[in-house]
Amino acid sequence: MYSVNYHRAASVADAVKKVKAGDGKFLAGGMTLIPTMKSRLAAPSDVVDITRIASLSGITVSGKTVTIGATTTHAEVATNAKLAKVCPALCSLASHIGDPHVRHKGTIGGSISNNDPAADYPSAMLALGATIVTNKRQIPADKFFKGLFETALKEDEMVTEVTFTAPAKAGYAKFPNPASRYAVTGVFVAKGKDGVRAAVTGAGDNGVFRSKEVEAALAKKFDAASLDGVKVSAKGLMGDIHATPEYRANLVVVMAKRAVAAANG
């Protein structure tokens, strides 16, 4: 790791000020940033630890409205009893990120800000139609995820929380890479009052996206059988050593079926 200056922020304003002072990065769980710095792929001049800002952590559920603070860990999301009552799919998703040690540190805000094309949370945010709240504004998930590791966030902008209305039904299924547990392909489906939304992670050449084919099939009937015979185009899908675009296209349908089956319990 290259030399770096560590700061601990007392408040969101303090964090933003400290990040702006140099070529700084916000540091939450560090489950991506620290490994990237260790391998010298990232070399920020400063890291600003935001995990001691109490207002950024925690889960509130009021009625169907769910709000999750940016530094809430995957372990906290996985085991939150109130969230499990209204949106168990999100608890299940969080319980399969990485491994137990990663889940103790990694945060929802960090995951969506990094927007790794194979991360789990971006698909949930997109399918749930979540609102990403930052220190400056509110951004709908549809406008937040911009591409590979790219989001609508500006340099001095920080995610503070995410909020969404729990849908009537939701489910998530992924085909995990056996080594990293990142999604080779993962699909989050949600059936809410505005219809069905299905978001795919791990497969898109340009990061997380909504699958028109899956949504159209499920709009008729929210049932795994509705996806029988549905074909997803391999165009625009990722090809790498783990899977070809065609293989991923097939996985989209298979994972969508499993997600719907999970949602229908």
- Give me the residues that bind other proteins (CB under 8 A), please: 1-6, 8, 27, 30-31, 34-35, 37-39, 47, 49, 51, 75, 98-102, 104-105, 179-181
Other Cβ atoms less than 10 A from the Cβ of 70: the count is 29
The full DSSP string for 92-154 is HHHHTSS-HHHHHH-BHHHHHHHT-TT-SHHHHHHHTT-EEEESS-EEEHHHHEEETTEES--
Q: Strands of 149-236 (E only): list them.
A: 150-151, 159-165, 169-176, 183-192, 195-201, 209-210
Nearer to other proteins, 256 or 262 (CB): 262
CA 181/CA 109 separation, integer angstroms: 19
CB of 213 to other proteins, least distance (A): 32
Label residue 85 left, alpha or beta by phi (over 0 means left) and psi (-120 to 50 means alpha). Answer: alpha
- 6 versus 62: smaller Cβ distance to other proteins: 6
8 Å CB contact between 119 and 204: no
- Of 3 and 62, nearer to other proteins (C-beta) is 3
Nearer to other proteins by Cβ, of 32 and 226: the residue is: 32
What minimum distance in Å lies between the beta carbon of 49 and other proteins?
A: 6
Nearer to other proteins by Cβ, of 28 and 158: the residue is 28
Look at residue 46 and give its three-state secondary structure.
Answer: strand
Which of 49, 215 has the CB closer to other proteins?
49
Distance in Å, CB of 63 to other proteins, minimum: 30
